[in-house]
Structures are given as C-alpha cells and as structure tokens.
Structure 1
C-alpha cells in the first residue's frame, strides 16, 4: 500500500488529493513541523533530504511533488483521467506541472521569508532592520514579480476551465498549493478567474475527502 509521509501544512496535501482523485488505497504517516517551521529529522529516515512530500510504494521511495504526481498517474491512472492525451492539452499539462515549482513557488517562498524578517527567530535587536529590509525588497521587486505571474495565470484561466484546457489534469493538482499561497500572500484574492478555479477545485468530492484526511492548509 502507498504511504504518504505527510507534513502538516505542506505541499503533501496535494498528493493526498491526487490519490483521492484516483481512488487508490493509501495510508498517511503524519509529521509535525518543529518550532522553526522546518520538517522533523524523522523524515530523513524516509528520504535523505528530510522533505515532504514523499511517498513509499512497497520498496519504492518517490520524492518531489511533480515526480510523485507523474509516478502515480503513470502507474495508477489507467483510464487517463488526469493525463490529457491531446497534444496541446498534454503540453499545457506538462508546462504547468513544472511551472508550479520551477517559477512560481520560489517567489512565494521568498514572499513568506521577507514578510517574516521582523519576527522570530531573527534576534529582537535586528527585527526593526529586518522588517524594514523585508518590506523594501517586497515593494521594490518581489511584489512586482508576483503581480506579473498573477496576471499571467489569470489570463490563462480566463480562457480555460482547467490548466490543460477543458479536462482537469495533474497540472491542476500541482498548481493547487501555489495558487492557495498566491491567493493568501500574492494578491490573487482579487483575481476572478483564479478564484473561480479555486472554487472548482474545492467543490470536488476528492478534494473534500483529502481535506478530511490531511487537514486544511493555512497559508496566510
């Protein structure tokens, strides 16, 4: 049976959603973040980097969200429900699958870091400087970058129900976490096409079952 090594409040939530969409039996092994918000050392017993998400399927260990989603789709999606077969849809699905972590998430991680530079664990004497520096970087560069990406995604979703077109695909599963983060941190709360996509996702029974199993993700 597949085991999802699930870190609370993390990208591993979308792996649970993928498994619910495919109706593949799985179990969850839960891990809690440390006070530093980092993953516990126990995850290093599963994979040397000690990161989540990671799954085990028998003796097979698979890490990295995109690799896990492709592995699950190729092995268990025999009806091709989440793997578009048309050339254009296939290319779009592949693009957004890699865009999520390659282009968008690094900016969102930076947004989180720079927004917390006036908080612990930064020493209290340095927090005013850290706060000013973090706000300066966000205003001068980071927020403009996120706005460009938000407009790019909004334009695409204004023409497509799902990222690969009319059919939901693994690209939508992959994009779920960064778009939740973008909505919370990057101004996408006022982007109607992105919000419509999020509502479509959240209305899916498989998504709702995944939330019941893995818990809500808090990204604000």
Structure 2
C-alpha cells in the first residue's frame, strides 16, 4: 500500500512504484483546514508524516516505512536493483564508480541541502516581496541550479541523467525539488538547457505518465506542490 497526503511531494513515490511495476493501493489523507496532516495519518506512522508506506509481503507481518529517502532506498534495494549503479571492484576499499557516488550524493542532497532551501522558500513564496526575493531566493536558487546544470553537463559517459546514461533511484527523488525550483525561480531553457532537457526526459517516462493519471483520477489534477 502507498499512503499519501493530498497535494504533497508524495506524488514522486507513485512514480517510483510505477517504474518498479509494483502492485500498490493508494490511500489519500485529506489535509486539515490549517493545511496540516490529519491525526489519522499517525495510524500508519507515529509521526503522522507523508509519504508513508505500509508494506505487505507473503509470510511477513506488515510494516510501515516513512521518510522519502528511506522508502526509496528500501524499494530499490529489494525490487529495483537496476536503479542502483554498480560500485567499485570487490576488495578495493573506498573506491567506487562515479555513477555510484553521484547516486549516493543526490539521494541525500535531494532531501538535505536542496529540500532545505525549498522549505525556507515556501513561506516566503506565499508572502513574497521583491526585496526578499532579490536578497535571498534568487541568489540561492541560482547557486543550486547552476550546480545541477553543471552536474548534467559532466554526467558520466555523456549521459542525460544526473548519474550517467541510466536512470537511477536518485533521479526519481531529485525530480520533485527540481520541478518546484523551476516553477518558483521561473528559469528557462536558455539559461538552464540541460536541466530543462532533464525534466522533459523524466516527465516523458511511462512511469511518470501513469502516476500522473493515478493522481488526476484521485485529486482531479496533477502538479508538483510543496
């Protein structure tokens, strides 16, 4: 089962579930009038946070997982090893492939440095003033998205994904904050051609389209929201 909060970044979890071709059910929890998650979500996980998944496997007691990074790592380790780049040669301690190291980094960066910026920016975007925008948001957005543009330009083996030629678990985790950043910072293909091409590539995947249809069926619309 995939449990999700309406209008949340849990949407990207559905994209991963579709990519892995896993059977799942969606239970959407409506936000309270104050915009916060309802108390009933604590029935799935004590913190009452979304996304959260309840996993049922044959012969095993159902268990819950929370935190996007932990959920993605579990699902890919057990059902999507092809989304995890190969590491270094056996017996060579500390030596890993560039693809592997990039994947590890972006799995943490997505929910760390980049998501922290979005968390700070979210309330500002709701009461935006040009002075705040110029003084804080624009320079910080520029720093992160120039970095990501550079990472795509130097993708291993001339790949179009963040970690190389093949899509990885990190790409599915990174897609959401990049989408949000694009909508808030209003950057264009002229300034960030690699990032725009990357988003087009990810949004063109069948798994993304299937998740989009699922969310539209449930909520009536599909758009990345914070």
TM-score by length of 1: 0.85
- Contact between 2:4 and 2:10, CA under 8 Å: does it hold in 1? yes
Q: What is the aligned partner in structure 2 of residue 198 from structure 1?
A: 199
Corresponding residue of 1:152: 147
Equivalence for 2:7: 9
> Using the alignment, how far apart are the partners of 1:41 and 1:25 within structure 2?
27
Q: How many residues align?
A: 201
The SS at the match of 1:6 is: strand
User: Per-residue displacement from partner, 1:86-144 (whole Å, max 9, x unpaired)?
Assistant: 42111100101110110011111222201223xxxxxxxxxxxxx65xx4333212321
**Structure 2 residue 220 is the aligned partner of structure 1 residue 217:** no
State the Cα deviation string for residues 136-161 of structure 1 (Å, max 9, x = none): 33321232111100100111113331
**SS of residue matched to 2:82:** coil
- Select 2:79's aligned residue among 76, 79, 83: 76
Which structure has the highest helix share of the two?
1
- List aligned pairs for 1:128-167, cutoff 5 A: 135-160=130-155, 161-167=160-166
Aligned partner of 1:63 in structure 2 is 66
Partner SS for 1:188:
coil
Gaps of 5+ in 2: 57-61, 88-96, 217-221
Q: How far apart, CA to CA, are the structure 1 residues paired with 2:224 and 2:32?
A: 16
| Aligned with residue 43 of structure 1, among 38, 41, 65 | 41
C-alpha RMSD of matched pairs (Å) = 1.7
Within 2, Cα distance between the matches of 1:213 and 1:113?
Answer: 29
The match for 1:184 is 183
Secondary structure (helix, strand or coil) at the match of 1:101 reads: coil
Q: TM-score, normalised by structure 2?
A: 0.83
